[in-house]
Amino acid sequence: MSAAVSRAPSGFVLVFAAAVLWGLIGLFTRAVLDAGVGALEIAFWRALLAGGAFALHALAIGRLKVGRRSDLAAMAAFALVGVTLFYGSLSLAIESGGISLAFVLLYTAPAFVAVLAWPLLGERLSPFKASLVGLALLGVLLVALAGDGASGVRVTSVSLTWGLLAGLSYASYYLFGKWILARYATVTIYAVVLPIGAIGLLPFVAFTPKGATVWLLLVSLSLVSTYLAYLLYYTGLRTVEASRAVLVATIEPVVAASLAAAIYGERLGPLGVAGAALILVAAGAAARRPWGRRSRTLGDEAPPSASPPVEGRGP
């Protein structure tokens, strides 16, 4: 048995652990929301604190450097979509609709990738991709019709809009990653884009007084469910095929919804559960068959991205 094969189980464990930590994002966010902190302030601190951790990491290993001004401009543009818009819309989706709804709609990202990769990357919208888009759209329709059948979940035009916007902005990790991962280490990318994304959120944040418990929750969200989760995931990718790793990582919305049900009594209802299943099937199918011949997204650790090809991560 080769060394790579013998190490593979530990890689899956790391990826699974990362998915569980991402699944905790909803709980941390909901707890801070309940303490009176606004959704956009939560997104701001998550980006700033996690970005600071990545900056220290990159500095320690000598990778806190961007070679070209054009690359820095591209990272800044990505930060506004992949951090400012993504982190903000995910927090607002949790606030307006609940944890379960937000994380189910987040996984419409592969459908958005299939559509946007056509005009932006020149990747053909094949029948397979089109079928995944249709499956995800049907799932969203069923979730939207869940309405009265849901418990503790608020299915409204506002919550659906923020959830779908989170999925759309999340798709940018794939689209941007295909270009930037050939140039920089993951720690370098996050050390740059997360603080810039936080600055993008700053004009919309109304800061509120916070006690020690709230700060602990914000630090946990930033360092445990963001910085540490990313490191676990990309370390696991060193010994696990990217498509399989992403499939394991789709446990994230299941973890989020299960915890939301156990702690907050959230239930999507029969139609909502059916819709969620369709969305996750579409996401899982996308993970099993990479979009392009050289698909990869934000990123693994070798440079941390040159190999293996990666389907994007993460919330």
- Per-residue model confidence (pLDDT) at position 300: 35
Enter the tokens of residue 6: 């013998």
pLDDT in tens for each of the 315 residues of the chain?
Answer: 444 444 444 778 888 899 999 999 999 999 999 999 999 999 999 999 999 999 999 999 999 888 888 889 999 999 999 999 999 999 999 999 999 999 999 988 888 888 887 787 777 888 888 888 888 889 998 888 876 556 788 989 999 999 999 999 998 887 786 677 678 888 999 999 999 999 999 999 999 999 999 999 999 999 999 999 988 887 887 777 666 666 777 788 889 989 999 999 988 888 888 999 998 888 878 766 554 444 444 433 333 333 333 444 567
Query: Is position 303 within any domain?
Result: no
Q: Which amino acid is present at 275?
A: G
Q: What distance in Å separates the CA atoms of residue 157 and residue 140, rounded to the nearest whole number?
A: 12
Query: Is position 138 within any domain?
Result: yes
- Per-residue model confidence (pLDDT) at position 172: 87
- Per-residue model confidence (pLDDT) at position 239: 77
Enter the tokens of residue 72: 């820095």
Query: Is position 173 within any domain?
Result: yes
Enter the tokens of residue 254: 């299941």
Enter the tokens of residue 59: 């500095």
Query: Is position 84 within any domain?
Result: yes
Query: Is position 311 within any domain?
Result: no
39, 91, 194, 197, 297 from 44: Cα distances, Å:
9, 10, 9, 8, 23
Which H/E stretch holds residue 289? none
Q: 3-state DSSP call for residue 143? A: helix
- Per-residue model confidence (pLDDT) at position 72: 92
**Spatial contact of 291 and 129, defined as CB atoms under 8 Å apart:** yes
Q: What distance in Å separates the CA atoms of residue 285 and residue 280, rounded to the nearest whole number?
A: 8
**Spatial contact of 149 and 270, defined as CB atoms under 8 Å apart:** yes
**Spatial contact of 279 and 107, defined as CB atoms under 8 Å apart:** yes
**Spatial contact of 166 and 108, defined as CB atoms under 8 Å apart:** no
Return the residue matching tokens 């020149």: 122
Q: What distance in Å separates the CA atoms of residue 26 and residue 24, rounded to the nearest whole number?
A: 5
**Spatial contact of 37 and 210, defined as CB atoms under 8 Å apart:** yes
Query: Is position 236 within any domain?
Result: yes
Query: Is position 213 within any domain?
Result: yes
Q: Which residues contact 274 (CB under 8 A, 6 or more apart)?
A: 139, 142
Q: Which amino acid is present at 241?
A: E
12, 102, 271, 278 from 142: Cα distances, Å:
32, 15, 6, 9
CA dihedral over 61, 233, 75, 27, signed as positive or negative = negative
- Per-residue model confidence (pLDDT) at position 146: 74
Structural domain boundaries enclosing 160: 3-288
Q: 3-state DSSP call for residue 151? A: strand
Query: Is position 233 within any domain?
Result: yes
Structural domain count of the chain: 1
User: What pTM does this model have?
Assistant: 0.85
